[in-house]
Structure 1
């Protein structure tokens, strides 16, 4: 997913062309109703609009079997607004889906009828469909995911086994976060016994032994947000944040001791989620023990993104979402479309022995090499760090973001020291490699003037002694003082001597 486009001074990024239509999804969940509008490359479209209303359709459902009248009223207002917004945004496709609360409530048909009066065609997803969508959502953002996806909604919990880019087993339980409170109120080990029985009868006991549990759903994301605050985590990005079983246990003990003002002060923690934090933590701890999972990985992507991903062609699914998003961002913000890929190929000979995972981050950095050129020159390096660390990227972990930030920081004129907080995210050796990438990118940018031709007509080589920049004879004039300095800086970082060759 592309990082949010940013205004640079009085200039704006190039307008997005109309070749990517807008797609909207209205998700009628048990806890919230949300409209998300997407636009961009099919493999990973950017979010253009995102709004939710905490309607609480699943509140009281376990006791009465029906959606409360006040919740229905809130839902009708929300759906009317979302239908109007989607129309104004000219969505080419608008899909409305409903999950556990509408599926299970005896008066769920009332809400469906109200939606249809607004021109919305509601698909009531089965538990299996809901589970599949959650699994595909995680795979869309973490293609290498191998473990159990747990999607905690207000009315249900879906578990999905994902491996090698595919969905295997799936199951849905009546364990939504709005149902946990009444169970826990009975005290003792009622919740643990209840969850153990459901998991055992479904044949899922120890199914996640030694595998990560991928967390989907607002309540579990809120739990991760709380842990990030309590642990002073340096990167406020929830996607691919990890918590161990011991951390979950600690959170379960800590939450009851936190005051409402303390919880309210936590950035990014919705007040609507604080009331269910303890229940979400309790369920997660029990579930991890039953599945045998020792760690969790948070996914910012879930059901809605899964609905988009599952309809992609196999060739589109196979694309790397990080590269797709970075290439699109480079297209929007850069000076010429093919620049990032050209720059990566130009500097690649210097890093031929790097592992594919490192080369992938380097490629991403090159695709984003132009993101700071519109910024105030005094803050271009900082802009690169901001884009790398805070961009809405997927399929990249915290150390990877740190390397990406360091490469952009160096290439955009920052010094050779680790940019804050890169040193707390990536190990020293990784920071050193990223700094070298940045210096190579900076040389390519300066020598070419941001143009394609000079990169296509020149080359870099490293023979272990000299770092050779080869130019055509008629391009000798490109090797000015500024280029010579950048050539020398890169050579020094690689412990080589700079050499200019003319062909």
Structure 2
């Protein structure tokens, strides 16, 4: 029995948790002013999966505004955290660890001591400059929102970094000593002091505002503020990435947060207790910055410095890959009965949807790549499984309406027909959901005709003419056209308002 168990364990340790082998695991230890965090990544290089994520609220920057130094207790807490993290990385067989420190260690008079003590523990700490930190945050936004064009604002415990991004590149950066741990002392000097200081700092840095650009929010305090707004507005999708607010909402949230009881704030899902005390100051700074930059709207990014460091190190050809489609392919391949089928489905059904624009084609392809993710589920719950994967998986590069379309397509594919999953109608327009439902019915037809493998799709063709959907099969493959296939073809045709016919 023991020998059998040993063999099982040996096999398990060699298995990948994703399409990439386990030896590709990388990790980042992020030593910030508020927290020290370890994130271990595995999977596709373009959009790796988070295998492990842990943070310790070390508070390295808590006393910087008063003493200019890291307090001994905070330093010990931070060093214990990175010692544990290094041990975990060894146990997880992480091949590459990047340990970076930002504003607190950079600005503290005893920051060098922290780095030296970490080195004695076997860890090399890379001290990022303010510019490097800003570039990393900006690259993180570009990794998760590839078409982002505007200003990135990364609010940490010790500093605020701003970066102008356009056409996939970072054009201008500044780093300002305006982290949430410094703000209480500034605001205590008077109601207008924060705004005056921000104006002076922007002028001194030579930052020229470009009106009417989106402002991309990075950092735990601003993400927590966005979660608070989602709670206030009863937003139906609990996903903060690419959540949008109007620019005017920043000032409104400043007033609201200042009057809300902290107990209520702690009850908000995904709101950590350590973030609650920072919300009033984070909201006040956001209001000032948005006003000074004349931003058009606010867009939240779940990706920041850590993801940016990974993205920045990638070759250009891998950077150019679509993060949604890479992730959908990896998820689909991991759960599929037969691999390599999603692209074939997309090409097979494409003639029915020739008028889809580029954005729609992208979501349609993602749905095709995920066409087999529900087969292990109870047949009565496959449609719900599809909706759950579309709405709640850790996708990036996708908006809330696009998630709704993906959910509708998978719901219809897995047996939901033209009905709309509950709540999805709140996220996208009816005409978009109807289009996605038709994709789902077409995918459902492809899966039934083919049995989930490529061969039958390669020897058949689906097309649309005036008033008809046509399925073409060779005489030698005519027996693929069974009763269930005909029923699904008929259902698709009826939903599209046309007739159907079989051609040989």
- Tell me the TM-score normalized by structure 1: 0.96
Q: Distance in 2 between matches of 1:22 and 1:63?
A: 40
Q: 1:20, 1:41 within 8 Å by CA — same for their partners in 2?
A: no
- What is the Cα deviation at residue 294 of structure 1? 2.5
Q: Give 2:418's aligned residue.
A: 416
Paired residue for 2:272, among 270, 273, 292? 270
Q: Give 2:84's aligned residue.
A: 81
- Tell me the TM-score normalized by structure 2: 0.95
* Pair 1:103-2:106 in alignment: yes
Q: Give 1:4's aligned residue.
A: none
Paired residue for 1:61, among 60, 64, 68? 64
Q: Give 1:296's aligned residue.
A: 298
SS in 1 for 2:97: strand
Higher RCO, Cα 8 Å, sep 6+: 1
* Distance 1:33-1:80 versus aligned 2 partners, 3 A rule: same
Q: Give 1:172's aligned residue.
A: 175
Paired residue for 1:227, among 216, 223, 229? 229
Q: Distance in 1 between matches of 2:244 and 2:109?
A: 38
**1:239-254 pair list within 5 angstroms:** 239-254=241-256
SS in 2 for 1:412: helix
Q: Give 2:162's aligned residue.
A: 159
Q: Distance in 2 between matches of 1:261 and 1:149?
A: 31
Paired residue for 1:38, among 38, 41, 56? 41
- What is the Cα deviation at residue 118 of structure 1? 2.1
The answer for unaligned runs of 5 or more in structure 1 is 1-11
SS in 1 for 2:147: coil
- What is the Cα deviation at residue 225 of structure 1? 0.5
Q: Distance in 2 between matches of 1:215 and 1:114?
A: 33
Q: Distance in 2 between matches of 1:83 and 1:118?
A: 9
Q: Distance in 2 between matches of 1:140 and 1:91?
A: 22
The Cα offsets for residues 106-164 of structure 1, whole Å up to 9 and x where unpaired, read as: 11122212221221110000001101101111101111000000000100110000000
* Distance 1:85-1:20 versus aligned 2 partners, 3 A rule: closer
Q: Distance in 1 between matches of 2:251 and 2:217?
A: 16
Q: Which runs of 4+ in 1 moved over 6 A?
A: 12-15
Q: Give 1:137's aligned residue.
A: 140
Q: Distance in 1 between matches of 2:207 and 2:402?
A: 33
* Pair 1:345-2:343 in alignment: no
Q: Give 1:50's aligned residue.
A: 53
Q: 2:462, 2:472 within 8 Å by CA — same for their partners in 1?
A: yes
Q: Give 1:381's aligned residue.
A: 383
Q: Distance in 1 between matches of 2:128 and 2:247?
A: 31
The Cα offsets for residues 207-231 of structure 1, whole Å up to 9 and x where unpaired, read as: 3x10001011000000000000111
Q: Give 1:8's aligned residue.
A: none
* Pair 1:455-2:457 in alignment: yes
The Cα offsets for residues 55-109 of structure 1, whole Å up to 9 and x where unpaired, read as: 1111120110001122112112211110111111111100000000000001112
Paired residue for 2:257, among 230, 255, 275? 255
Q: Distance in 1 between matches of 2:381 and 2:242?
A: 28
Of the structure 1 ranges 431-440 and 77-86, higher mean CA displacement relative to structure 2 is found in: 77-86
Q: Give 2:5's aligned residue.
A: none
Q: 1:243, 1:295 within 8 Å by CA — same for their partners in 2?
A: yes
Q: Distance in 2 between matches of 1:405 and 1:15?
A: 23
Q: Distance in 1 between matches of 2:21 and 2:250?
A: 45
The Cα offsets for residues 453-483 of structure 1, whole Å up to 9 and x where unpaired, read as: 0111111000021101111212222211111
Q: 1:13, 1:332 within 8 Å by CA — same for their partners in 2?
A: no
Q: 1:447, 1:483 within 8 Å by CA — same for their partners in 2?
A: yes
- What is the Cα deviation at residue 19 of structure 1? 6.8
- What is the Cα deviation at residue 244 of structure 1? 1.2
Q: Give 2:7's aligned residue.
A: none
Q: 2:391, 2:404 within 8 Å by CA — same for their partners in 1?
A: yes
Q: Give 1:7's aligned residue.
A: none
The answer for unaligned runs of 5 or more in structure 2 is 1-14
Q: Distance in 1 between matches of 2:406 and 2:442?
A: 14
